[in-house]
Structure 1
Amino acid sequence: MDQTKQANPDLKWEKTATANIGVDFSILKGKVTGSVDVYDKKTTDMIFNYNVNPVLVPVGTIVANGGTMSNKGIEVSLGATIVKTADFSWNTNLNLAHNKNEIVKLTSPFFVGGDSIRRVQPDGGGQTGSTLQIFKEGKPLGQFFTLKYAGKNADGVSQYYDKNGDLTTTPQIGVDYHYAGSAQPKLLMGWANNFQYKKFDLSIFFRGVFGNKIFNATRADLFRPSTAMTNNILVDAGNESPNDLNSYKYSDRFIEDGSYIRLDNMTLGYNFGKVGNYISSIRIYQTVNNVFVITKYKGIDPEVEQGGTAPGVDSNNFYPKTRTYMFGVNVIF
């Protein structure tokens, strides 16, 4: 029997209610089509492992219902035939989505954390007690909550703003924290294009994510010049003073814009048509996945984990996307 978890006989399923309204349309004799969907989704009785008063629950935590989360958004899809001639055609489809996430309620009969829970504690050296995000009523899932970097002082030591806005080189972890953006993207995009020229065909698909933040904990963990004799550090960390023992502290210094546009897939094909008396069609094609990505993010890949309860944290815990090539032949007899 597990003695580290408290039984909760009152635990029940989460509940989700969704309201949705949509409009489909077609204009210019079907050359332009589209849809608009607006939704309002609310999840109640959310299940979470709450910290509780040890007097009530000896192990100090309990899995309980208690949270309420809201997701409101809009999804737009547009399709169009841009060009259509005897030899050439171009069809395109654009999908856009915006979602606003908010923790509406965060409570449990046992909960001792008020209306917030500090979350996400990567295991970087020298970061004991540090957390990166917070569950907070009125804030989104993935809300960053950390130290606020204020540059260097006259001695070249990294300084921060304390909870009152004053400068300090000895910030208190968990006390001198500030809200520092969200991992929730403001816009998601998917854009597909299909071209046909005589017997050639080309398909191109772009994906984009815009307006989200990423906490580059991997960069912070490699930003310790004092450890250069025994550990790897980043090249630009070499510009930091070895005496600045604050330079690598988790703070908004390591929060970056996570926006990107990725050419996700590109396929070029050629159809020979009928070959001989037994083959009605032969098509050869070349496909490339993850062709390129445009981003200002300094990490290996801006497409970090966006699911779960701790989105938008790059903590050296994922394998970056690889570029793959595939050659194929389709034969129809």
Structure 2
Amino acid sequence: MSNKGIEVVLNGTPVSTDNFSWTTGFNLAHNKNKIITLSDDPRFNIEDRLTVSPDGAGQSGLTLQTLKPGQPIGTFFTFKYAGKDANGVSQYYDANGNLTKTPLTKTDYYILGNAQPKALLGWSNNIRYKNFDLSVFMRAALGVKIMNVTRADLFRPSTAQFTNIPVEVENESVSDFNSYKYSSRFLENGSYLRLDNATLGYTFKKGLIPGVNSIRLYTTANNLFVITGYKGIDPEINQGGTAPGVDTNNFYPKTRTFLFGLNVSFN
């Protein structure tokens, strides 16, 4: 396997006066991953390997990714969605680009993108105005692909009489026996911008209380918001191992927390 990348870090203090200061830092990281070979000698020779086989009902034998020389880890390799036919049944492209409602595993698979982000960004800011201080840290991941397996498994209009289904599924035809099949239909843009942490504080003037050197009142918010087009619970899913970018509802989403505090320093 080969990994090549670049990281850029910029730090600066654009403003610094007696009453106001602003310090900021920005970092950008890009990594290019590629599998070189799956073989070590003629006795152990593998051209490729299909990976990630979720256990959704009716999905037996289907896989989502491939480990293949020349491709990065997290390469999505599965069916390519082609819309509905005249009867409202989902159809797909076969290996020759023709429409079919019964695509064949691997034979009709297409390379559809990758789960690894094209860029990771971070931006930190520390601002002080007289006795107020504010720190903010934001993160972003760009160019991420996520296979929303959880959404696919719920895309069954015929089950509405038994279980809850997403609102968007109400427009699906109950005769569509292909509506939930893992394919590019459920491969989503997982890029996001997240406000990781923000802290606002106020330091009272020295001497306000006899025997007290300083008093600082502050509040902190973690995971205040995330901006994303991803339809799942959280776009920041597992990105480790050999099968990143597959959302099978097997992780706990980040929580939003608030903290209020008081720091007191005595003489």
Aligned-pair CA distance for 1:122:
1.1
Give 1:1-20 correspondences, 5 Å limit: none
In structure 1, the partner of 2:246 is: 313
In structure 2, the partner of 1:324 is: 257
Is residue 207 of structure 1 aligned with residue 118 of structure 2?
A: no
Q: TM-score, normalised by structure 2?
A: 0.96
Aligned-pair CA distance for 1:233:
1.4
Checking the alignment, whether the CA contact within 8 Å between 1:273 and 1:283 is kept in structure 2 is no
In structure 2, the partner of 1:247 is: 179
Q: Which amino acid aligns with 1:305?
A: N
Q: Percent identity?
A: 63
3-state SS of the aligned residue for 2:124? strand
Q: TM-score, normalised by structure 1?
A: 0.77
Is residue 95 of structure 1 aligned with residue 27 of structure 2?
A: yes
Q: Which amino acid aligns with 2:108?
A: D
Equivalent of 1:125, from 57, 60, 72? 57
More displaced stretch, 171-180 vs 199-208: 171-180
Residues 237-287 of structure 1: CA distance to partner in whole angstroms, max 9, x if unpaired? Answer: 111101000011000100011100001110000011424342211111100
Checking the alignment, whether the CA contact within 8 Å between 1:78 and 1:95 is kept in structure 2 is yes
Residues 136-176 of structure 1: CA distance to partner in whole angstroms, max 9, x if unpaired? Answer: 00000000000000001122111100112111011112221
CA distance in 2, matches of 1:164, 1:287: 56
CA distance in 2, matches of 1:322, 1:144: 29
Structure 1 gap ranges (5+)? 1-68
Aligned-pair CA distance for 1:111:
4.4
Equivalent of 2:15, from 56, 79, 83? 83
Give 1:131-142 correspondences, 5 Å limit: 131-142=63-74
Residues 94-139 of structure 1: CA distance to partner in whole angstroms, max 9, x if unpaired? Answer: 0100000011111255546x32110011111110001111100000
3-state SS of the aligned residue for 1:150? strand
Is residue 278 of structure 1 aligned with residue 211 of structure 2?
A: yes
3-state SS of the aligned residue for 2:37? strand
In structure 2, the partner of 1:198 is: 130
Checking the alignment, whether the CA contact within 8 Å between 1:159 and 1:168 is kept in structure 2 is yes
Is residue 265 of structure 1 aligned with residue 197 of structure 2?
A: yes
Q: CA RMSD in A?
A: 1.2
3-state SS of the aligned residue for 1:104? coil
CA distance in 2, matches of 1:145, 1:230: 32
Aligned-pair CA distance for 1:87:
0.7
Residues 178-209 of structure 1: CA distance to partner in whole angstroms, max 9, x if unpaired? Answer: 00000010000010011100000000110000
3-state SS of the aligned residue for 1:325? strand
Checking the alignment, whether the CA contact within 8 Å between 1:190 and 1:205 is kept in structure 2 is yes
Checking the alignment, whether the CA contact within 8 Å between 1:120 and 1:133 is kept in structure 2 is yes
Deviation beyond 6 Å, 4+ runs, structure 1? none
Is residue 219 of structure 1 aligned with residue 158 of structure 2?
A: no
Higher strand share: 1
CA distance in 1, matches of 2:183, 2:163: 21
Q: 1:302 to 1:76 in 2, by over 3 A?
A: same
Equivalent of 2:234, from 296, 301, 310? 301
CA distance in 1, matches of 2:161, 2:61: 26
What is the aligned residue count? Answer: 264
In structure 1, the partner of 2:76 is: 144
CA distance in 2, matches of 1:248, 1:130: 12
3-state SS of the aligned residue for 1:90? strand
Equivalent of 1:159, from 91, 112, 115? 91
3-state SS of the aligned residue for 1:237? helix
Q: Which amino acid aligns with 2:226?
A: V
Structure 2 gap ranges (5+)? none
CA distance in 1, matches of 2:9, 2:148: 33
Q: Which amino acid aligns with 1:316?
A: N
Aligned-pair CA distance for 1:231:
2.4
In structure 2, the partner of 1:289 is: 222
